[in-house]
Amino acid sequence: MKNQNRIVYYFFLLLDKIRIYVHNRFEKHVKPTDSNRINDFKIFLWQHLLHNLKFNKDGYFFNTAVKNKKSPMVLSQARVILILTSFGKNEIGGIDNNFLIKELTNYLIKMRGNDGLFKFNQVSWNLQDEGIASVWSTLALIKAYEKTNEGNYLNIAISTTEAMLKHLYTKETSLIHTFGDNFWCLNSASTFAYSCCLLLEHYYSEDIVSAMNDSIKLCTEKIDEDGHFPYNLKRQGTYLLLYHPIVILTLEFCLSSKYLRDDVKTDLISANKKAINFLIKQIDNSNRIFEPEIKHYNQYIITNITSIVALKGKINEDIINQMLYNIAKYLKDDTLFLCMDKKNELYNSDLYKVSDVLAIEVLYWLSIFEKI
């Protein structure tokens, strides 16, 4: 039965690869609008968020095309909460912001599994992604607690973290980052460390302190000689550039923790310095960044926005502004495109099915950009 399931899995994986190839081969590329401004781009993203907010008996949720048992995508639900908790105004779209945060968070909690973890939506990734889904959900719970002072949110953040600790170095979830044998490796470790850092501001646990320091150390020890964070030790020398700036940022956020060990802090600063220098070298003469490994993505919007956030205050402001201007070009006729080719023409590649999810991720990183 196990072998049969594996055969079925790889059969559908092959079909998916064929579908992607056919789509990428025939997808039309379009010229961008050069007159876009970043403020117009942000307005579009906010309108997208508000348009996709839905309500049912379980509360408010961000409606996504990708579903799991009729539920929205966990990561988008969590990121919408994180966006709203960073929003300074009392109302959004005529709705009280704190009320909306509570409704969205209550809905998120109902998506939690009996084992205390949050499931990712795609069944084929099930064993990989309990960790990363749980980490982002925990971040949302902590920020929702800080904004609303609802003690239940903190309690669930604690119990979710404790559930993750049980699996942290096993092969049961995406937090199997001991040997880096899945590509969420360091991105998962650094984001988990940041989640621990935030939680420790409200709740002390020696296990959480150890997990935070161990996860940071995992990243700093595995940085490559040229300064990139690899996603898989079995393919040392390769990386998904979009995760590289996320690791930089989440590790950087941990520097404020009073529970950070001195030796870990020293290594963190050293590793991030190398990682930032590596990232700067990826910017071409037109202030563009290309994905070197997943070549069919070319200029991927998530790679570019996370790089902008990671490099804010570290490079010339004019370069940052030009990179933001480039980001605004991904919007064309009220459609958000996700990739840009070498001719600066827009397309979606195989990501078109999750464009609503990625629009929220872009808005999340823009909200972080404005705060740091």
- Torsion over CA: 133, 138, 143, 145 (sign): positive
* H-helix or E-strand spanning residue 4: helix 2-26
User: What pLDDT score was predicted for residue 64?
Assistant: 85
Q: Name the pairing type of β-strands 339-340 and 346-347.
A: antiparallel
User: What pLDDT score was predicted for residue 78?
Assistant: 96
CA angle, 180 as apex, 366 and 80 as ends, to 5°?
25
Q: What pTM, to 2 d.p., does this model score?
A: 0.89
- 90-125 pLDDT, tens digit per residue, is 777 778 899 999 999 999 999 898 888 887 654 444
User: What pLDDT score was predicted for residue 99?
Assistant: 93
Which residues touch 20 (CB under 8 Å, ≥6 apart)? 349, 350
CB 105 within 8 A of CB 155: no
**CA nearest neighbour of 168 among 132, 205, 121:** 132
User: What pLDDT score was predicted for residue 183?
Assistant: 44
User: What pLDDT score was predicted for residue 128?
Assistant: 44
* DSSP notation for 21-77: HHHHHHPPPBPPPTT--HHHHHHHHHHHHHHTEEEETTEEEE--SS-BTTB--HHHH
Cα separation, 189 vs 246, whole angstroms = 11
- Residues in the chain, pLDDT under 70: 1-6, 9, 13, 66-71, 89, 120-130, 169-185, 231-240, 352
Which residue is associated with the tokens 């995760």? 243
* DSSP notation for 183-215: TTHHHHHHHHHHHHHHHTTT---HHHHHHHHHH
Cα separation, 120 vs 136, whole angstroms = 11
For the chain, count helices (H), then strands (E): 13, 9
**CA nearest neighbour of 124 among 13, 260, 258:** 13
Helix 151-167 × helix 97-110 angle, to 10°: 40
Give the number of residues written for the chain.
372
Cα separation, 276 vs 244, whole angstroms = 9
* H-helix or E-strand spanning residue 161: helix 151-167
| Bridge partner list, 202 | none
Q: Name the pairing type of β-strands 339-340 and 331-332.
A: unpaired
Cα separation, 319 vs 333, whole angstroms = 26
With 0-12 / 13-18 / 19 or more C-beta atoms within 10 angstroms meaning exposed / middle / buried, residue 170 is exposed
- 8-38 pLDDT, tens digit per residue, is 767 776 777 787 777 777 778 999 987 778 9
